[in-house]
């Protein structure tokens, strides 16, 4: 369900949702039918289509995705949920193992999410694709 470019560095799709990049190939500009909007400096994601991304007072950590609050751990370092969608980590707490109903498996080195699957065979909804994209983007920024 996750596909990368030939070099394996850029995420190209989440399920059937294609991710397009800017001319330099460094920053995502579209997630399926949704255009990605960034702040004036071009570094912070501000919207995914009509879904806005709001940040905390310092402007460093997302606190809302559209109508959904983002909940973090007590120390504020790890994202625990987006609305009712929970995010689970491995025993060491360093890698995301589950986003809502989707399990994540990693490559042989263990650093890059390789597959995203679910016991439930229903198609990934647009909202789920947006949430998975945001979680994977935030995880990639933290590295």
pTM (two decimals): 0.91
Element housing 86 (H / E) = strand 85-89
Domain edges within the chain: 2-142
Element housing 101 (H / E) = none
**Diameter of the chain by CA atoms?**
41
- C-alpha span between 42 and 12 (Å, rounded): 20
Contact criterion met (CB below 8 Å) for 11 and 25:
no
Write the CB contacts of 54 (distance below 8 Å, at least 6 apart in sequence).
62, 63, 64
- pLDDT tens for the 143 residues of the chain, in order: 899 988 888 999 998 999 999 988 889 999 999 999 999 887 899 999 999 999 999 888 999 999 999 999 888 778 999 999 999 998 877 799 999 999 999 988 888 899 999 988 888 999 999 999 999 998 887 65
């Amino acid at each position: 369900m996750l596909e990368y470019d030939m070099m394996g560095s850029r995420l190209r799709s989440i399920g059937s949702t294609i991710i397009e990049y800017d001319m330099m190939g460094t920053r995502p500009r579209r997630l399926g039918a949704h255009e990605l909007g960034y702040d004036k400096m071009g570094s912070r994601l501000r919207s995914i289509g009509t879904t806005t991304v709001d940040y905390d007072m310092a402007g460093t950590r997302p606190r809302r995705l559209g109508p959904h609050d983002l909940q973090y751990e007590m120390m504020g370092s790890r994202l625990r949920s987006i609305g009712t969608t929970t995010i689970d980590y491995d025993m060491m707490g360093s890698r995301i193992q589950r986003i809502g109903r989707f399990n994540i498996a990693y490559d042989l080195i263990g650093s890059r999410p390789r597959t995203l699957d679910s016991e439930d065979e229903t198609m990934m909804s647009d909202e789920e694709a947006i949430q998975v994209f945001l979680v994977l983007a935030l995880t990639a920024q933290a590295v």
